[in-house]
Amino acid sequence: RIMKKYNLLSSAFGKKKRKYSSYKGNVGKRFKNRLNRRFNTPIPFQKLVSDTTELRYGKQSINERIYLNPVLDLFSGEIISYSISNHPDFNSVFSPIKEAILKLPKTHFKRFFHSDQGVHYQNKRLNKFLKKNHITQSMSRKATCLDNESFFHLLKIKIGNNFSTKEELINSVRNWIYYYNNFRIKTKLGGKSPIQYRKLVS
């Protein structure tokens, strides 16, 4: 209300930009929403989520951008793996998912991978890989994966948007994710960082 009264904009975002969306209709297989907004879990690596966000650098008129594709564990909010790419193609989305799943410990409980209905998540190659590794695929409604939104929002606020080069932006993203995983404490984790909490509970 006060910002509106004095015609102020947030320095982190400025003018609101169009949100990147990978939804292109039903191009492959869509899956039921198995999580159904049940984003909490007491078990590490049981519920994994992924999404893609667009990050910009350089002059706003040029619209130079990169794409961040993280895989997040809903148990603690830990970023298990991620990729940073020039284009939001299938390999940049699939690579961190594959990396995350292949390094998970073996377990007896059921695992879930949740995303929106983006075209890359409907890809048969990804579907087969998840099935082969005994992971149940889950999808929210199109262009929406709300469980990841808080992480992306926090990232963009903390790193800002004043980057001259792609290298500066990438280094800032990598450094912040490392800090977020290892040192940024959360009240709901008992004052621990995501990795500290996982190690304490595991």
Taking only the tens place, the pLDDT of each residue in 110-151 is 999 999 999 999 999 999 999 999 999 999 875 455 555 689
pLDDT at 59 over 90: no
- pLDDT category at 25 given cuts 50, 70, 90 is low
How far lies 91's CA from each of 34, 40, 41, 123, 124, in Å? 25, 29, 29, 11, 13
Residue 126: closest CA among 141, 115, 111, 142:
115
pLDDT at 103 exceeding the cut of 70: yes
Residue 36 has pLDDT above 60, yes or no: yes
Q: Which of 67-71, 92-96, 141-145, 183-187 is least confident?
A: 141-145
Give the residue with greater pLDDT, 14 vs 142. 142
Query: Is the confidence at residue 37, as pLDDT, over 70?
Result: yes
Cα pseudo-dihedral 174, 180, 182, 183, rounded to 10: 120
Ramachandran sector of residue 140 (left: φ over 0; alpha: ψ -120 to 50; beta: rest)? beta
Instruction: Provide mean pLDDT across the span 91-110.
Output: 93
Q: pLDDT band at 78, cuts 50/70/90?
A: very high
pLDDT attached to residue 175: 98
Q: Kindly report whether the global pTM for this prediction surpasses the value 0.75.
A: yes
Scan for tokens 């932006």, then name that residue.
169
